[in-house]
Copies of this chain bind each other. A is one copy, B any other.
Amino acid sequence: MPDPHDTQTYPSVEDSLRLVTAAIARHKLVEELVHKQETTRPELPRHELVESLVHKQNLTDLSKKLDGLHPADVAYILEALPLEDRLLVWDLVKAERDGEILLEVSDAVRESLIESMDNRELVAAAASLDTDEIADLAADLPKDVVQELMKSLDQAKRAQVESSLSYDEESVGALMDYDFVTIRADVTLEVALRYLRFLGDLPPHTDKLFVVERNGRLIGTLPLKRMLVHDPEVHVAAVMSDDPVVFHPSDEAADAAQAFERYDLVTAPVVDPQHRLVGRLTVDVVLDFIRAEAEADMLAAAGLQEEEDLFTTVWKAARNRWLWLSVNLVTAIIASRVVGAFEGSIEKLAALAALMPIVAGMGGNSGSQTLTLVVRGLALNLISKDNAKRLMLKEAGIALLNGVVWGGIMGLVTYVLYGQPALAGVMAMAMLLNLMVAAMAGYWAPHLIVRMGHDPAFGAHVLLTFITDSMGFFIFLGLATLLLL
């Protein structure tokens, strides 16, 4: 990966996108003109030379433009282009940059790019990457490409890729790299400095060296800052930090990300159970992880199975959305059956049909407020058995207060609309009860889903809406049937 400090100015990526889009439009225009001339006036000689020159110049300019961009910016441009234009641009990117750009694009767009490449190109692109990056890419590559790729690696690298692949996607092992500089504790800073000068360059993000024993055991870290401010005669052991924050490959990535935030880390060593150094975690990877998790939560909450290429085909997009829609259809049908059981009452008093969505909807909304706070509390480990009861009582208290306030208001509105005090009373009571149900559902749904080993971001909202809809209809129509008819 190129160090951004080594590269030239970055113009605004939005500007770059505009330039690229304009170049593509020019290119298409030329193609269209040629085509027009060929079809409408075939008798004219084709000015092949001129055409192909204009054509080539356009594409050469675009290609040069792309060469000057950071891989992340090329990735951004690829994301923003419709499929056809995207593949045109992708063809113009220098082959040796394919690997690093594939790493930067989103999963969905990566898929579309990989589909356009043949096995030879894919192997070449992947082979240019570091071993931890190869492992990141491997999941999206065809199996035969991965096999060929593995054969092309030397044994040490192959072992690293295999070990990276062996870790759970959400673990520290899957995020760590193998790009670190180690040093012994018994040398002086002078010697350490000479060693660094001998290396000539340090891995990206290096803010500290890892101090290890001969057997690989990590005994400390030496921040570069300290190397710079201390007397060169001093020994590493005297200035190293001998109890740094370390991670294990099996640690959950989310916990490591929290530690990076809490302790403001830039890099941290990863050690095995014998405290031998096995890898390194860097803040840029942690940042990407945090952003990806936040996005995945947002998508899951809206019922999208995975990140979706903005310009994917209708068919692919529809498949990405069907699981959630089908679950929702089933829960909606069940809730509808609850209403169906009271069709007799509705025939007698059609106002019930108009009022019942309000009871269900307010339950859903206030329940989702509770649910969101509980999901956040669980994610940050803020909820324990010591404080759970108190939290639940607080939510029940809010629901009671909300029930009295909003139930009262809706009772009044109902009276104004229908002039029936009894109906107004039923409305108020149903609101109060359904808000209590919603608070309990909002509190328990994420607990239940976490205990079943799932991510609450997806299932909890569906479960909540199902409960608040069905129970809202049942409570309101049931009370009305009992008390009014």
Contacts and interface: CB of A to CB of B under 8 A. Distances in A.
Interface in A1-42: 1, 4-6, 8-10, 13-14, 17-18, 21
Interface residues of A, number: 137
A70 interface: yes
Contacts of A329: 358, 362, 406, 409-410
Contact of A205 (B193, B264, B340): B264
A260 B287 contact: yes
B324 A369 contact: yes
Contacts of A112: none
A355 B291 CA distance: 40
Interface stretch (A90-98, A149-157, A158-166, A293-301): A293-301
B229 A196 contact: yes
A445 to B, nearest CB: 13
B372 A355 contact: no
A6 B339 contact: no
A115 interface: no
Interface stretch (A46-54, A168-176, A314-322): A314-322
Contact of A9 (B243, B372, B381): B243
A197 interface: yes
Given A290-B287, A344-B350, A231 B339 contact: no
Interface in A252-284: 259-266, 283-284
Given A196-B228, A336-B357, A263 B72 contact: yes
Interface string A216-256: 00000101110111110000000001011100000000000
Contacts of A369: 302-304, 321, 324
A187 interface: no
Copies, count: 2
A365 interface: yes
B199 A332 contact: no
Contacts of A339: 353-354, 357
A79 interface: yes
Contacts of A371: 302
Contact of A291 (B261, B350, B353, B377): B261
A322 B403 CA distance: 12
A401 to B, nearest CB: 5
B261 A287 contact: yes
A265 B311 contact: no
Interface in A343-363: 343-344, 346-347, 350-358, 360-362
Contacts of A1: 264
Q: Most chain-B CB neighbours within 10 Å: which of A264, A333, A360?
A: A264
Contacts of A199: 229
A76 interface: yes
Interface in A35-91: 70, 72-73, 76, 79-82
B317 A398 contact: yes
B5 A223 contact: yes
Contact of A387 (B80, B228, B301): B80
A384 B21 contact: yes
A230 B207 CA distance: 17
Contacts of A448: none
Q: Most chain-B CB neighbours within 10 Å: which of A369, A397, A413?
A: A369
A387 B410 CA distance: 45
B245 A390 contact: no
A144 interface: no
A303 B368 contact: yes
A372 B261 CA distance: 27
Nearest to A4: B263
A484 interface: no
